Amino acid sequence: MATIEVKNLSKVYGSGETKVTALDSVNVTIEQGQFVAVMGPSGCGKSTLLHLIGGLDRPTDGSVFIEGSDISKMSDKTLTELRRRKMGFIFQFFNLIPVLDAIENTALPLILDGVKPELARTKASEWLSRNKLDGRGKHRPDELSGGQQQRVAISRAMVSDPVIILADEPTGNLDSRSGDEIASTLRKIVTDWKRTVLMVTHDPRIAAYADRIIFLKDGKVVDDTLLNGSNGENAKRLKEKVESL
Amino acid sequence: MRIQILLAWRYLWGRKQRMVLTTLAVVFGVTLLFGLNAMIPAMMESFRHNMVTTAGKVDISISSESNNPFEESVLKDLSEIEDISFYTGILTKNVVLPESLGGTVNKLTGSSAVTVTGVDVATAQNVRNYSLIEGRFLEPNDTNATVIPQLLADKMELKVGDIFTIPSSEGVSDLKVVGILSLSASAGLDEIFVPLPDAQTILNLPQKINTIDILIKSGADRDVVVSSVLSKLGPNFKSGAIQTGEELASALTMGQSMMWLFGVMALAMAGFIIFNTFRTVVAERRRDLGMLRAIGASKQTIMGLIMVESLLQGIIGTGLGLICGYLFSYLLVSAVGNIFAGMLRVTIGAPVITTVNLIGSILLGVGFTVGSGYFPARSAMKVTPLEAMRPTLGSIEYRQNNRRAIWGLGLLTLSVVGLLLGNVSIAGLSGVVFLVGIILIAPVMVKPVADIFGKLISSIYSREGKLAQGNLTRQPSRAAITASSMMIGLAICIAMMAMITSIEHGFTTYLDKSLGTDYLLMPPSLVLGSGNLGVNQGFIEKIKSIDGVEEATSLRLATSQVDGTTLQLIGIDPLVYPKIAGLEFSEGDSVEAYKAMEQGSAIIVNGIFAVTNNVKTGDVLSLKSPQGERKYTVVGIGFDYLNAKISTGYVSQSDLAKDFNSESDLLLLVNRKPDATAEEVTPALQTVIKEFPTFSLIDSNEFKTEQMGMFKMAMSVFYIMVIMLAVPGLIAMANTMSINVIERTREIGMLRAVGATQTQVKRMVFAESVLLSALGTTMGILVGLFLSYLLVKAIGVIGFRTDFFFPTSGIIASIVVGLVFGIIAAMVPARQAANTVIVEALQYE
Amino acid sequence: MSVRHSLLGLLAQKPRYGYELCAGFTALVGGKENWDVKPAQIYTTLARMVESGLVIFNNLNGQQSKGEYTITPKGHYELMDWFRSSDIEEPHQDPFYLKLMLSLELDEVDASRLIVIQRAALYQELHRITEQRQALDPHNQLAQMMLMDKSAMHLEADLRWLDMIESRLDEVQRQPSPKPAMRPRGRPPSQSA
Ligand SMILES: Nc1ncnc2c1ncn2[C@@H]1O[C@H](COP(=O)(O)OP(=O)(O)OP(=O)(O)O)[C@@H](O)[C@H]1O
Ligand SMILES: [Mg+2]
């Protein structure tokens, strides 16, 4: 059973004159432990795809299966619980609560889930130190750099042991060095913790950390490339593509 | 729940300034509500205490149902009741001491008075315990003797053997002090004891008593005795002390509901402020909220977060408000305590915290806060997780605003129609409808009003004015809400001022009508019922016999009850009274009415009574009298100036004598002959009055001026109230302005970065604030006009009919207040904006 | 060219044996994966340099195959000359560009597919380099990391360029393809015609 399975997914915004087809019957299957980058020109529907997979929005047509269950049919309540337990989100604008310190921000999903505060804090501190933020636990977001804030956000996304991590341009607001740090942190999450990461990015260097890139254009998948094969495999795959010319 | 509390607390703490401002609004509302209401019970409490101590020393106290005196002979009936050990009849009444007899007369506090209690010397000491420190108690053969309390003795410098002169129905009575009591029996007034026959003479109530004090045998059941006594005496008697304070107590209750209204209005404004703040809070935090939703917070959690935040503020605000309210009422009580002590003859203690007031204030304080947080919380709940992903954008809701405006317009039309229908309750409702209509329409008004006033401001500060105008119009709903809270404050100001202007005008008219005579012979206290002592028929005859007096008529007084409402009865002479004074009729024909009165059993009631008891001309009222229930037909609704504020009925003097045993004249109205001059008549009147020191001679013209002065003074209390109510409006403005600044820190930083000077930024904030207050003032004037029209109509209906006067002064005052508020409210935020550190502002998220 | 100068550079430090030079060069470029130069090529180059008098070969024990190479003053001069020259790669000779331009004229090849395939290949390469770079220890392999960065950045540039042409492919297609310039014959056309 695939971790994420997207079938004939379509999303249409508006109607009549202002109708925009953001996604047009997209089919994608993502296995556990894959690091997938979604790329494509601006407005091609990357964020829309991510939102639909994350259950943040409802598709116009088609369905999204997370570990075999169809989330497009779930109630808001079940969906909220699913997000809380199975998914972690990382946003472009870090999106930490400005009035909470790093540990509290990280512990949020656990606290929301009713985990005991002490336990939640312990887990949060563990993740912060895994993400090289030891000693920063008591700092509030405005006392942290962008890169550090994003690592707090990654810690928050990981703290509830989710199956899937969804990240929309997580390095969009960072310089290339901090971007690299974030990308390698995500890479580690996939390699060491066997999580599935789905990341939207515009940056080829960041995308290259992924195992697989899905290219979108005008709401359709135009290419789907595995990057992590041996040289031979890669060459073979390329050859297959060339055949299709 | 834990997470909500943690987040709510942190958010509040993170924006201390805003929290303080919002909480302040709640504090203010609760302070008013709680403080004012703690003061009234303080008075009520003193009153009650007063009455209990007088009645408290005996087991049972019997008086007539209507509080009027009754025949001494009823005492005989009691001898047959087994369980009574002793009983005694008492005649007790307050008597005002005129200045000439050692009393102090003060325009504000009224006059000093004593309670004259006639006791049956033979039986009195069986029932009560009189502890003397000097001299002896009254003895059976005493006449013109008295026993006085020590306090009075000290005050009047009287010793045993001295003569104490008090006013009497025959002029004065000289009483010989035979003993001095250690304690005053009554906490409020000094009570002097005289033999019963003396009292009956002094008070002109021969063979009458008004209280029976009873001691029961030990072991007997009090309730059983009471019921057997009452069944013996018949339905016109009741158990308990004479409730002289009842009328005042009901006036106080009325005052209390006014205070509640004030407090609730202040809280309503606080509610607006909180609503406004939380709307901003939700708008500001959309991204945070979306993120929380995305990482798994349920809708309820989000709603809870905002609700907890408002709850916290409600609790803190209410708590502080209770403390401030107590201090406030403490200050008020000590400030006005003296005045009240004089007027009501009651010493007021510390403010009293009644459970109702405490619980009510807490419920309303917390309730309003949480209630105002509710709608913003609901909109917070609807924030989708998607909001977290997008960069924040300003939300614009023009369509909705327009729809609301249409609703608003509909309501406005409705309310005007309601006003024109003429029914009071419909008109009252239409006032509320009008307010709601204006609030709905407000967002649409923002742009045109901002455009008009923006032009004015632009002509002074061209660039800043333009910016401010833009800033205001891009958040029409918020501007409208802020303006609304200011609107309420100003509208109340204007309405009150309009009412005051109209009443003042009406007052002058009444004064002229009611006091159409040349002279008034007035008792020491203006309110007829309170402790004034009447004179017998001889006095008016003497006046009439003076050369140059054309006509004289008197007013007499009794009290009665109709369906449980106390009604003051004024006895007039239906033949003479209309000739020289006359009532102001709002229903019924005056000629017919006086004619009906001559026939007997006819009553004219005043507006207050007609409204509260829903009485119309032609109704038959059943009045409680010492002789039992008496039927009177209402022949008109009208009133005179002196009794406009108290439920009053006018009956003929012969009816009053027959049914209510009242034959003494309380107030005399005298007209000169057309050819007589004041120089001739005044000295003659003064000579007659010397024998009756209770009365003072008043030249109507002088009196009118004096009354106008007092009226203006009383109205100044209203002005203070009005100002108090305007304060929350100011807080609301300041609040919104600083929220605007906080919210736009980045923008202001950008302006500074591209070269705006501190002064320019300041000016921008000022301009915006002034624009906002212009909006509030415009709306306030509209609503104020409507409300004032309504108020004048309403007081017209309860009998104080006046013409509507356009409140020009109120409007001018409001414009000034609005402008000043606009500037004051912007002071702190403007400084804050000007001091924005550019770099920090640009980092601000 | 650079192999020759790299060998001169290594010899400028100290005289070396042939196999030493082979290992030294591989280390310099950061491993065989980066630049796989066969020993035979190195020996051929060395031999040529001996011929032109840039290095001297000292036979050890008279054995022909084993001996130390030493740089000559002429060789040193040549090395310095190399340092003084600037290194600008020839970016215009891009085979993919040629493919793409030609595909525009040929119906049987889809230009946009070409881009997709090229991009996939470039990403695979970039991924490989990123992985390699990740495996390096920044504390003592910084030089190599920087070399990786260079390649990554070049690939990134290529990828961005691909994105760019992809988005403007339609426009390019609509314009006339580059044709050899016609040599004007006869009289130039009159301005008024
Ligand atoms: N709420 C919305 N209403 C209407 N149209 C929308 C909405 N959200 C997205 N769209 C449209 O859907 C299309 C896809 O949007 P999406 O945000 O997924 O693009 P994207 O690939 O993430 O772009 P970018 O790289 O710029 O973030 C766009 O054309 C956009 O205009
Ligand atoms: Mg996007």
Query: What is the CA(B334)–ligand 1 centre distance, in A?
Result: 69
Decide: helix, strand or coil at residue C139.
Answer: coil
Q: Angle between the A146-159 and A102-112 helix axes, to the nearest 10 degrees?
A: 20
Structure tokens at A157: 């996304």
Q: Which of residues 3-62 of A touch C (CB under 8 A)?
A: 41
State the pLDDT at residue B845: 44
Residue A46 Cβ inside 6 Å of ligand 1? The answer reads yes
Q: Do B295 and A113 touch (CB under 8 A)?
A: no
Q: Which residue of A has its CA nearest to B291?
A: A95
State the pLDDT at residue B507: 63
User: What residues of C are in contact with residue A205 (Cβ under 8 Å)?
Assistant: 126, 130, 152, 156
Q: Looking at the complex, does the CB of residue B288 fall below 8 Å from at least one CB of chain A? A: yes
Q: Tell me which H or E stretch contains B398.
A: helix B398-421
CA distance B826 to B733: 8
Q: Looking at the complex, does the CB of residue A113 fall below 8 Å from at least one CB of chain B? A: yes
Structure tokens at A120: 């939640």
The minimum CA-CA distance between A95 and chain C, rounded to whole Å, is: 28
pLDDT 10s digits, B768-792: 888 888 888 888 888 888 777 776 7
Instruction: Please give the angle made by the CA atoms of B504, B505 and B510, to the nearest 5 degrees.
Output: 95
User: What residues of C are in contact with residue A234 (Cβ under 8 Å)?
Assistant: 121, 124
State the pLDDT at residue B43: 59
State the pLDDT at residue B526: 46
Q: Which residue of B has its CA nearest to A143?
A: B843
Q: Are B486 and B777 in contact (CB under 8 A)?
A: yes
Residue B355 has pLDDT above 70, yes or no: yes
Q: What is the residue whose two structure tokens read 């019924």? A: B588
Closest CA to C118 of C153, C152, C163: C163
User: What residues of B are in contact with residue A142 (Cβ under 8 Å)?
Assistant: 843, 845
Residue B611 has pLDDT above 60, yes or no: yes
Residue A41 Cβ inside 6 Å of ligand 1? The answer reads no
Q: Angle between the B537-544 and B678-690 helix axes, to the nearest 10 degrees?
A: 150
Residue B837 has pLDDT above 60, yes or no: yes
Residue B125 has pLDDT above 80, yes or no: no
Between strands B171-181 and B145-149, the pairing is parallel
pLDDT 10s digits, A162-209: 899 998 888 888 888 888 888 988 998 898 988 999 999 999 989 999
Q: What is the DSSP letter of A141?
A: G
Residue B646 has pLDDT above 60, yes or no: yes
Report the DSSP beta bridge partners of residue B175: B164
Average pLDDT over residues B656-674: 81
Is B720 or A27 the better-scoring residue by pLDDT? A27
Q: Are B210 and B63 in contact (CB under 8 A)?
A: yes
Percent of chain A with pLDDT over 70: 98
pLDDT 10s digits, A114-154: 788 888 889 899 989 988 888 888 888 888 888 888 889 88
Mean pLDDT of chain B: 74
Among protein residues, the one with the nearest Cα to ligand 1's atom 24 is A42
Q: What pTM was estimated for this model as a whole?
A: 0.60
Residue C85 has pLDDT above 90, yes or no: no
CA within 13 Å, CB half, C62: 0
Using alpha carbons, list the distances in angstroms from residue B702 to B579, B672, C163: 22, 16, 100
State the pLDDT at residue B695: 73
Residue A55 Cβ inside 6 Å of ligand 1? The answer reads no
Residue C193 has pLDDT above 80, yes or no: no
Closest CA to A199 of A23, A30, A9, A6: A30
Decide: helix, strand or coil at residue B19.
Answer: helix
Cα A237 → chain centroid: 26
Question: Which amino acid makes up residue A1?
Answer: M
Q: Which of A85, A98, A160 sits opposite B14 (nearest CB)?
A: A98
Instruction: Please give the angle made by the CA atoms of B528, B530 and B534, to the nearest 5 degrees.
Output: 60
CA distance B464 to B475: 17
State the pLDDT at residue C191: 53
Q: Looking at the complex, does the CB of residue B384 fall below 8 Å from at least one CB of chain A? A: yes
Residue among A12, A23, A42, A46 to mutate when testing ligand 1 (max atoms within 8 A of CB):
A46
Between strands A164-168 and A196-200, the pairing is parallel
The minimum CA-CA distance between B387 and chain A, rounded to whole Å, is: 10
Query: What is the CA(A22)–ligand 1 centre distance, in A?
Result: 6
State the pLDDT at residue B344: 42
The minimum CA-CA distance between A209 and chain C, rounded to whole Å, is: 6
Residue A47 Cβ inside 6 Å of ligand 1? The answer reads yes
Q: Tell me which H or E stretch contains C158.
A: helix C142-174
State the pLDDT at residue B103: 60
Percent of chain A with pLDDT over 90: 24
pLDDT 10s digits, C87-117: 777 777 788 888 888 888 887 778 888 888 8
Q: Which of A99, A156, A168 sits opposite B389 (nearest CB)?
A: A168
State the pLDDT at residue B319: 92
Q: Do C121 and A244 touch (CB under 8 A)?
A: no
pLDDT band at B95 (very low <50, low <70, confident <90, very high): confident
The minimum CA-CA distance between A165 and chain C, rounded to whole Å, is: 20
User: What residues of B are in contact with residue A100 (Cβ under 8 Å)?
Assistant: 6-7, 10
pLDDT 10s digits, B311-343: 888 899 899 989 988 888 887 777 666 555 544
User: What residues of A are in contact with residue C120 (Cβ under 8 Å)?
Assistant: 223, 225, 237-238, 241
Residue A42 Cβ inside 6 Å of ligand 1? The answer reads yes
Q: Do A227 and C109 touch (CB under 8 A)?
A: no
Structure tokens at C18: 């042939």
pLDDT band at B91 (very low <50, low <70, confident <90, very high): confident
Average pLDDT over residues B422-437: 69
Decide: helix, strand or coil at residue B119.
Answer: strand
Between strands B145-149 and C16-17, the pairing is unpaired
Q: Which of B25-39, B46-60, B265-279, B326-340 has the highest mean pLDDT?
A: B25-39
Q: Which atom of ligand 1 is nearest to the CA of A14?
A: 4
The minimum CA-CA distance between A241 and chain B, rounded to whole Å, is: 35
State the pLDDT at residue B61: 76
Structure tokens at B700: 């109507």
Q: What is the DSSP letter of A80?
A: H
CA within 13 Å, CB half, B839: 0
State the pLDDT at residue B799: 47
Label residue B580 exposed, middle or buried (CB < 10 Å: 0-12, 13-18, 19+).
Answer: middle
Query: What is the CA(A218)–ligand 1 centre distance, in A?
Result: 10
Q: Which residue of A has its CA nearest to B383?
A: A56
Q: Which of A110-124, A200-214, A217-231, B602-616 has the highest mean pLDDT?
A: A200-214
Closest CA to B22 of B482, B443, B565, B459: B482
Q: Is the ipTM of this complex over 0.85?
A: no
Q: Which atom of ligand 1 is nearest to the CA of A11?
A: 12
Q: Which atom of ligand 1 is nearest to the CA of A49?
A: 18
State the pLDDT at residue A37: 94
CA distance C165 to C98: 13
Residue among A9, A42, A47, A56 to mutate when testing ligand 1 (max atoms within 8 A of CB):
A47
pLDDT band at B246 (very low <50, low <70, confident <90, very high): very low
Among protein residues, the one with the nearest Cα to ligand 1's atom 26 is A42
The minimum CA-CA distance between A4 and chain B, rounded to whole Å, is: 18
pLDDT band at B642 (very low <50, low <70, confident <90, very high): low
**Domains within chain A, CATH numbers bracketed:** 4-243 (3.40.50.300)
CA distance B814 to B811: 5
Average pLDDT over residues A87-110: 82
Average pLDDT over residues B562-583: 80
Query: What is the CA(A216)–ligand 1 centre distance, in A?
Result: 12
Using alpha carbons, list the distances in angstroms from residue A55 to A48, B289, C110: 11, 16, 37
pLDDT 10s digits, C5-56: 888 888 888 888 888 888 888 888 877 777 788 888 888 888 898 888 888 8
CA distance B207 to B215: 23
Q: What is the residue whose two structure tokens read 């003296």? A: B338
Structure tokens at B99: 């200045």
Residue A14 Cβ inside 6 Å of ligand 1? The answer reads yes
State the pLDDT at residue B394: 44
Q: Looking at the complex, does the CB of residue B845 fall below 8 Å from at least one CB of chain A? A: yes
Q: Looking at the complex, does the CB of residue B301 fall below 8 Å from at least one CB of chain A? A: yes
State the pLDDT at residue B22: 77
Q: What is the residue whose two structure tokens read 């939380």? A: B278
Q: Which of A80, A97, A111 sits opposite B2 (nearest CB)?
A: A111
Q: Which residue of C has its CA nearest to A39?
A: C163
Residue B428 has pLDDT above 80, yes or no: no
SS3 per-residue string spanning B225-257: HHHHHHHHHCCCEEECCCCCCHHHHHHHHHHHH
State the pLDDT at residue A135: 86
Residue B106 has pLDDT above 60, yes or no: no
Q: Looking at the complex, does the CB of residue A83 fall below 8 Å from at least one CB of chain B? A: yes
State the pLDDT at residue B595: 87
CA distance B89 to B711: 42
Residues 6+ apart with CB under 8 A from C165: C100, C115, C172
Q: Do A117 and B2 touch (CB under 8 A)?
A: yes
Q: Are B47 and B249 in contact (CB under 8 A)?
A: yes
Q: Angle between the B462-473 and B758-797 helix axes, to the nearest 10 degrees?
A: 60
SS3 per-residue string spanning A195-238: CEEEEECCCHHHHCCCCEEEEEECCEEEEEEECCCCHHHHHHHH
With touching defined as 3 or more inter-chain CB pairs under 8 Å, the answer for chains A and B is yes
SS3 per-residue string spanning B522-558: ECCCCCCCCCCCCECHHHHHHHHCCCCEEEEEEEEEE
Residues 6+ apart with CB under 8 A from B41: B256, B351, B352, B353, B354, B357
User: What residues of B are in contact with residue A95 (Cβ under 8 Å)?
Assistant: 287-288, 291, 388
Residue B242 has pLDDT above 50, yes or no: no
Average pLDDT over residues B39-44: 63
Q: Which residue of A has its CA nearest to B840?
A: A142
Closest CA to B833 of B841, B842, B845, B822: B841
Q: What is the DSSP letter of A18?
A: G
Residue A13 Cβ inside 6 Å of ligand 1? The answer reads yes
CA distance B454 to B456: 5
Residues 6+ apart with CB under 8 A from C188: none
Average pLDDT over residues C153-168: 89
Is C86 or B302 the better-scoring residue by pLDDT? B302
pLDDT 10s digits, B742-772: 666 666 766 666 666 777 778 878 888 888 8
pLDDT 10s digits, B205-237: 888 888 888 876 655 677 788 888 888 887 778
pLDDT band at A35 (very low <50, low <70, confident <90, very high): very high
Q: What is the dihedral of CA B361, B366, B368, B374, to 10 degrees?
A: -170
Residue B843 has pLDDT above 60, yes or no: no
CA distance B216 to B759: 85
State the pLDDT at residue A2: 85
Closest CA to B62 of B100, B92, B23, B82: B92
State the pLDDT at residue A209: 92
Residue ranges per domain, chain B? 1-52+246-390, 54-243, 445-516+700-845, 534-693
Residue B798 has pLDDT above 50, yes or no: no
User: What residues of B are in contact with residue A66 (Cβ under 8 Å)?
Assistant: none
Q: Which atom of ligand 1 is nearest to the CA of A45?
A: 18
pLDDT band at B109 (very low <50, low <70, confident <90, very high): very low
Average pLDDT over residues B397-411: 71
pLDDT band at A12 (very low <50, low <70, confident <90, very high): very high
Residues 6+ apart with CB under 8 A from B469: B450, B451, B454, B457, B458, B767, B771
Instruction: Please give the angle made by the CA atoms of B410, B416 and B421, to the nearest 5 degrees.
Output: 125
pLDDT band at B722 (very low <50, low <70, confident <90, very high): low
Q: Which residue of B has its CA nearest to A116?
A: B2
Radius of gyration of chain B (CA): 33
Residue B365 has pLDDT above 60, yes or no: yes
Q: Do C113 and A207 touch (CB under 8 A)?
A: no
Residue C154 has pLDDT above 60, yes or no: yes
